[in-house]
Amino acid sequence: MKPFFKSFIQFYLKILTKFVLWRHKPFIIAVSGTTNKTVVKDYILKFLREKYGEEEVRANPRSFNTEIGLPLAILYLDSGYLSFLKWAGILASGTVKALFARNFPSKLVLELGIESEGDMKYLLGIVNPDIAILTNIETSFSDPSSGLEELFEEFKYLANKIKKDGKLILNIDDSRVRNLKKLTSAEVVTYGFSEDSDAHVSNLKNDVEGQEFDFTFKSNGERVKIKKYGKHFVYAWMVAKIIKDIL
């Protein structure tokens, strides 16, 4: 795709998306971090749809989480990829939806994909989350050369910009994420395996059917079983349960 055409698409989608969000005013939950975003997003989507209904909650399809993908996710449009003709139809459809569509979900669960300096600032110029979640800040398997300190600055920007009456949900087991707690004026909710976290897991056990663990949040405890293996699924379940409980 030619740079000028890509810049035009990016700008036009941003304008459409900001208009749609202003018009419908959905509650926005943002999920960011270097890994585990999609699993966390999918768990939140499942839990909130169980609580509010499928039509009331929408999330990014596939990996639509960047400067073009995020608006497409919000507008519920497909990508035109490298086709000028397809993009023309998509932008026309998006314009009609933005101006005339009445049905829109009351809640959006959105991944924010960060790769380089300035990405977070751009994405937060499109969305203003009511709740932001930070999964972790560590080397990505898909991009082991990524500079963690540079990425940390992006997540610091998110912590600083989250609205004062919003919530920042942090993985306390990640030292970099934990340090973001002092950089925000929003309410902070921590989660992890540490007993110092607001929501924590203990007594984790694996069996032939999956994982079982004790979960405690707001002085309430329960024994949980999930049919998945790996701690990243436990973290995702924790975040989704926190979101479901506080909304």
Helix (H, G, I), strand (E, B) or coil at 164: coil
- Indicate yes or no: pTM above 0.85: yes
- 34 contacts 138 by C-beta, under 8 angstroms: yes
Comparing CA positions, the residue from 71, 111, 119 lying closest to residue 236 is 111
* 64-88 b/e (C-beta count within 10 Å ≥ 16 → b): bbbbbbbbbbbbebebbeeeeeebe
**Which pLDDT value is given to residue 140?**
58
Comparing CA positions, the residue from 138, 130, 156 lying closest to residue 34 is 138
Average pLDDT value for the chain: 92
**Residue percentage of the chain with pLDDT more than 90:** 83
Pairing state between β 131-134 and 199-207: unpaired
Distance of CA 148 to the CA centre of its chain: 19
pLDDT of 9 > 80? The answer is yes
**Which pLDDT value is given to residue 139?**
67
**Order of strands across the sheet with 107-111?**
57-59, 107-111, 27-32, 131-134, 167-171, 187-192, 199-207, 210-217, 220-226
Least confident of 46-60, 142-156, 163-177, 212-226: 142-156
Q: What is the pLDDT of residues 133-155, one digit of tens each?
A: 999 998 654 455 457 888 899 99
**Which pLDDT value is given to residue 69?**
93
* Number of Cβ atoms within 10 Å of the Cβ of 129: 25
Separation of alpha carbons 88 and 95, rounded Å: 11
Amino acid found at 86: K
- CATH no. of 3-246: 3.40.1190.10
**Residue percentage of the chain with pLDDT more than 70:** 96
Separation of alpha carbons 171 and 137, rounded Å: 10
**Which pLDDT value is given to residue 145?**
47
34 Cβ partners below 8 Å, 6+ apart?
Answer: 114, 135, 136, 137, 138, 139, 140, 146, 148, 151
